[in-house]
Amino acid sequence: MSAAKKLNLTLKVWRQKNGNAKGSLETYPLKDISPDSSFLEMLDILNSELINKGDSPVSFDHDCREGICGSCSLYINGEPHGPSRLVTTCQLHMRSFEDGETIYIEPFRAKAFPVIKDLMVDRSAFDRIQHAGGYISVNTSGNTQDANAIPIEKEDADEAFYSAACIGCGACVAACKNASASLFVAAKVSQYALLPQGKIEAKDRVLNMVKQAEKEGFGPCSNTGACEVECPKGISIENIARMNREFLSASISK
């Protein structure tokens, strides 16, 4: 743990009272930030200063602060989850920034992610896409077959895991110039398409989930690959290729 020099920063933060209000960037100087602090701890410090001054603190989503719940978002200096790769905002540390730097902090922007307040957006569209088919239809009975009854090739199981590692944060949407949810949808479609348990409903699943994503206002895949670059969990765009194959074959046979 470094005892490096403290940082003095200028923050430009998006403030918006609620979904109907007009928002704007406000400027806040912030001093003496430890490079060992996380980005959200830096915002905690800003908020405690604002509260002490009688101003209203900045609202932002966050919960586990371990990079796994997917609550945190933020568009930092023009990138979802900021400048580091394979890292969520809550795991981003201030040592990634320079002393004297100006940092722009905005919400994820997409038509399907309306702003609720300040830096918080409504990502319930992702839930609704999952309702459309992000599951295997098996009841809880305790009488399913033994877990080892169907061996699954290690490679497929691992691949399914990498797809399933998506945390549903929405960075892929925020990074895409079309605000497409392709990477998110593809990750779920892939997880099930790779496993024998998911094959039975595979066709309906891909058709319904893709349809729902369009309905929510997410755009078509831009093919630029920005989503893969910005994804904090390294979800590969190969998933999108797999989803497209699944979608095509389902469209032909259904």
Residue ranges of alpha helices (H) inside the chain are 39-52, 124-131, 154-164, 171-175, 182-193, 196-199, 202-215, 226-230, 238-253
Least distance to other proteins from the beta carbon of 108, Å?
12
Stretch in the footprint of other proteins (CB under 8 A) among 43-51, 101-109, 215-223, 246-254 = 43-51
Which of 26, 36, 98, 99 is in the footprint of other proteins by CB under 8 A? 36
**Shorter beta-carbon distance to other proteins: residue 87 or 229:** 87
Least distance to other proteins from the beta carbon of 223, Å?
27
**Shorter beta-carbon distance to other proteins: residue 54 or 100:** 54
By the rule CB under 8 A, 251 interacts with other proteins: no
Least distance to other proteins from the beta carbon of 139, Å?
5
**Shorter beta-carbon distance to other proteins: residue 145 or 177:** 145
- Find the binding residues for other proteins in span 115-144 (CB under 8 A): 116-117, 120, 122-124, 126-127, 130-132, 134-142, 144
* Cβ within 8 Å of residue 24, ≥6 positions away: 14, 15, 16
The CA distance from 247 to 240, in Å, is 10
By the rule CB under 8 A, 238 interacts with other proteins: no
Other CB atoms within a 10 A radius of the CB of residue 36 amount to 13
According to DSSP, the residues that pair with 80 across neighbouring strands are 75
The CA distance from 127 to 22, in Å, is 27
By the rule CB under 8 A, 207 interacts with other proteins: no
* Cβ within 8 Å of residue 235, ≥6 positions away: 162, 163, 165, 166, 172, 183, 187, 227, 228
Which of 38, 89, 180, 239 is in the footprint of other proteins by CB under 8 A? 38
**Shorter beta-carbon distance to other proteins: residue 75 or 221:** 75
β-pairing, 102-106 vs 79-80, is unpaired
Structure tokens at 139: 């009841």
- Find the binding residues for other proteins in span 78-117 (CB under 8 A): 84, 86-87, 91, 93, 95, 116-117
The CA distance from 176 to 182, in Å, is 10
Least distance to other proteins from the beta carbon of 131, Å?
4
Helix (H, G, I), strand (E, B) or coil at 24: strand
Which of 184, 192, 218, 247 is in the footprint of other proteins by CB under 8 A? 192
**Shorter beta-carbon distance to other proteins: residue 145 or 253:** 145
Binding residues for other proteins, rule CB under 8 A, total: 78
By the rule CB under 8 A, 157 interacts with other proteins: yes
The CA distance from 104 to 182, in Å, is 27
By the rule CB under 8 A, 48 interacts with other proteins: yes
